[in-house]
A and B are shown apart, each in its own frame.
Chain A
Amino acid sequence: RKEVEQDPGPFNVPEGATVAFNCTYSNSASQSFFWYRQDCRKEPKLLMSVYSSGNEDGRFTAQLNRASQYISLLIRDSKLSDSATYLCAHTGTGNQFYFGTGTSLTVIP
Chain B
Amino acid sequence: GAVVSQHPSRVICKSGTSVKIECRSLDFQATTMFWYRQFPKQSLMLMATSNEGSKATYEQGVEKDKFLINHASLTLSTLTVTSAHPEDSSFYICSAFSVGVSTEAFFGQGTRLTVV
- Which residues of A are interface residues toward B (Cβ below 8 A)? 6, 32, 34, 41-46, 49, 87, 91, 94-102
Least CB distance from A107 to B in Å reads 19
Least CB distance from B74 to A in Å reads 15
- Cα–Cα, bound, A90→B49 (Å): 15
* B103, A32: Cβ atoms closer than 8 Å: yes
Least CB distance from A90 to B in Å reads 11
> Please, could you name 22 A-B residue pairs with CB atoms under 8 Å apart, sorted by A?
A32-B103, A34-B104, A42-B110, A43-B93, A43-B107, A43-B110, A44-B107, A46-B1, A49-B103, A87-B44, A95-B97, A95-B99, A96-B34, A96-B46, A96-B49, A97-B97, A97-B105, A98-B46, A99-B36, A99-B43, A99-B46, A100-B43
Chain A residues positioned under 8 Å from B44 (CB to CB): 44, 87, 99
Chain B residues positioned under 8 Å from A95 (CB to CB): 32, 49, 97, 99
Least CB distance from B33 to A in Å reads 11
B residues contacting the other copy or chain, number (CB 8 A) = 23
Total A-B pairs, Cβ < 8 A:
48
Chain B residues positioned under 8 Å from A43 (CB to CB): 93, 107-110
Least CB distance from A81 to B in Å reads 20
* B57, A94: Cβ atoms closer than 8 Å: yes
Least CB distance from A23 to B in Å reads 11
Least CB distance from B109 to A in Å reads 5
- Cα–Cα, bound, A49→B1 (Å): 14
* B34, A97: Cβ atoms closer than 8 Å: yes
* A102, B43: Cβ atoms closer than 8 Å: yes
Chain B residues positioned under 8 Å from A99 (CB to CB): 36, 43-44, 46
B 1-25 to A, binary, CB cutoff 8 A, 1 in contact else 0: 1000000000000000000000000
B 35-50 to A, binary, CB cutoff 8 A, 1 in contact else 0: 0100000111010010
- Measured CB to CB, the nearest residue on chain A to B110 is A43
* A94, B49: Cβ atoms closer than 8 Å: yes
